[in-house]
Amino acid sequence: MFIEQTIGVAPKATKYDGRRRNLQLALQHVYREGLTTRAEISRLTGLTRATVSDLVAELVTGGLVKEVGPGTSSGGKPPTLLELDPTGRQIAAIDLSRRPFRGALVDLQGGIPHRITGRRGSRRGASALREVFALAEALVERSSAPLLGIGIGTPGIVDLDGSVAEAANLDWHGVQLAREIAERFDLPVEVANDAHAAALAEFGSRPVVNLALVKVGIGIGAGIVVNGELYRGDRPAAGEIGHIRVVEGGARCTCGNTGCLETVASVPNIIRRAVSLAGIDASAESLPWRASELEATVGGDALGEAIATAGRHLGAVLAHLVAILDVHRIAIAFELEGADQPFLEAVGSALAARILPSLASLVEVSVATHGPDLVLAGAAALVLREQLGVVWQ
Ligand SMILES: [Zn+2]
């Protein structure tokens, strides 16, 4: 379901003419109610019956809303019931935060009728860009309904025009991603930082106005929703917590500094630390991101210690975020499969020990929704918000 609240940056003024706004209003109502009638839309939106009839005709013709038979009569002719047609449009969503990259076709209710995985191996620079083109092309070809647009969640700092200013893990600097994809496929394209996109998906799943979503994978980043809006910051680089120094004189980070949070708490570095603690001869890069298999290789003690250390460092950083913003809902997307519980415990206790006790009792650290599809759901939500003005709920 969707709600009428829109979040994030203001859509471009040209998209917001009166008719479009009224169409969005009517559509939002259908999303929210599930099953409704023209009269109900008119009553609840304040639009005249004639206007609503006209708008609904356009939504039905456009395949977004369908008529599903007669409702209950209150005297005269029974009204026609209306509901959303979830299959009326699809969104091509792409997640560049994982290796290999992933893509999916997402319907209007968040269903995933088709998914694809990119080629194996770590792709950077021009090779990574070609892989994105290939994924987008495959999704466009496989779509079974008109596409609303292409949504992409990528690591790094993403400008408001959808260009990737800096993504160290992909070796991208000033890549005009949204423009290049839009020109190639002639579709609306939305690009956002992966954690920002994930925060949108998480916000859509929770009835709260403030939340922080923390994504811990190859890198570490947060997406912050304040007063129901994604907070992106001046650069915009809000939530780039992975490069806060947590260890003086620590290891060299991909950003050039030393002792960053990522050097001790990213999943690859947790695995490296576990291998080192176990004192075994294994390549951390070749090990799976699954707790059960890792435990069989490095032992429970080494893995537990590496996860707890990472959680403590992240909790210490999040204490600042909670103290500054007074945000009580922290959702964690930890990509080391099967290790949520020990990681969240370590994060929660380190966080609670560093803030006002009365505040600590209000803070809830939980596992993020959507599992491995979190960024895909967020990328689809971006397109939905921009094109239809509605947010998943
Ligand atoms: Zn760094």
**Cβ count near 227 (within 10 Å):** 8
Strands (E), the chain: 2-3, 35-36, 65-70, 80-84, 90-95, 102-107, 114-117, 147-154, 157-158, 164-167, 172-175, 189-193, 211-216, 220-226, 229-231, 329-334, 364-367, 391-392
The alpha carbon of 341 and the centre of ligand 1 are apart by a number of angstroms equal to: 26
Rounded Cα–Cα distance for residues 169 and 103 (Å): 19
**CA 162 / ligand 1 centre spacing (Å):** 23
pLDDT in tens, 87-105: 999 999 999 999 899 999 9
CA distances in angstroms from 71 to 64, 80, 81, 366, listed in the order given? 20, 6, 6, 42
Of all residues in the chain, the percent with pLDDT exceeding 90 is 81
pLDDT > 80? residue 115: yes
Q: Say how far apart CA 73 and CA 51 lie, in whole Å.
A: 22
Task: Give me ligand 1 centre to Cα 388, in Å.
Answer: 37
Mean pLDDT of the chain: 92
Q: What is the mean pLDDT of residues 9-16?
A: 44
Higher pLDDT: 330 or 2? It is 330
Using pLDDT thresholds of 50, 70 and 90, give the confidence band for residue 10: very low
33 alpha carbon to ligand 1 midpoint, in Å? 46
What is the rounded distance in angstroms from the CA atom of residue 95 to the CA atom of residue 154?
Answer: 6
Distance (Å) from CA 188 to ligand 1 centroid: 33
Where on the phi/psi map is residue 191: left (φ > 0), alpha (ψ -120 to 50), or beta?
Answer: beta
Ligand 1: centre distance to CA 337 (Å): 24
The answer to whether 187 and 150 are in contact (CB under 8 A) is: yes
Inform me whether the pLDDT recorded for 308 exceeds 90.
yes
SS3 68: strand
Closest CA to 265 of 306, 322, 223, 320: 306
Taking the centre of ligand 1 as the mean of its atom positions, its distance from the CA of residue 311, in whole angstroms, is 17
Q: Which two tokens stand for residue 371?
A: 């599992």
pLDDT band at residue 2 under the 50/70/90 scheme = very low
Is 163 exposed, middle or buried, given 0-12, 13-18 or 19+ CB atoms closer than 10 A?
middle
User: Binning pLDDT at 50, 70 and 90, where does residue 334 land?
Assistant: very high
Between the CA of 258 and the centroid of ligand 1 the distance, in Å, is 7
231 CA → ligand 1 middle, Å: 22
What average pLDDT score do residues 47-61 get?
A: 94
Q: Does residue 9 carry a pLDDT above 70?
A: no
| pTM as predicted | 0.90
Residues 6+ apart with CB under 8 A from 46: none
Confidence of residue 15 (pLDDT cuts 50, 70, 90): very low
Measure the CA angle with vertex 308, ends 302 and 309; round to 5°: 90
User: Dihedrals φ, ψ of 128, to 5°?
Assistant: -65, -40
CA of 343 to the centre of ligand 1 (A): 21
Ligand 1 midpoint to CA 303 (Å): 23
Query: Kind of pairing, strands 80-84 and 65-70?
Result: antiparallel
Range 144-166 average pLDDT: 96
pLDDT digits (tens, 9 = 90+) for 373-387: 999 999 999 999 899
Q: What pLDDT, on a 0 to 100 scale, did the predictor assign at position 123?
A: 83
Distance 243 CA to ligand 1 centre (A): 4
Assess whether pLDDT exceeds 50 at residue 12. no
- Chain centroid to Cα 387, Å, comes to 17
**How far apart are the C-alpha atoms of 359 and 353, rounded to whole Å?**
11
Q: Is the dihedral of CA 282, 287, 289, 295 positive or negative?
A: negative
Who surrounds ion ligand 1 at CB < 5 A?
A: 243, 253, 255, 257, 260
- Residue 168 pLDDT class (50, 70, 90 cuts): confident
- pLDDT at position 392, please? 64
Query: Residue 393: which pLDDT band, with cuts at 50, 70 and 90?
Result: low
Taking the centre of ligand 1 as the mean of its atom positions, its distance from the CA of residue 259, in whole angstroms, is: 7
Question: Does the structure show a pLDDT above 50 at 21?
Answer: yes
Q: Average of pLDDT values for 286-307?
A: 97
Q: Spell out the SS3 assignment of 332-384.
A: EEECCECCHHHHHHHHHHHHHCCCCHHHHCCCEEEECCCHHHHHHHHHHHHHH
255 Cα to the center of ligand 1, angstroms = 4
Residue 10 burial (C-beta neighbours within 10 Å; 0-12, 13-18, 19+): exposed
Separation between Cα atoms, residue 388 and residue 373, nearest integer Å:
22
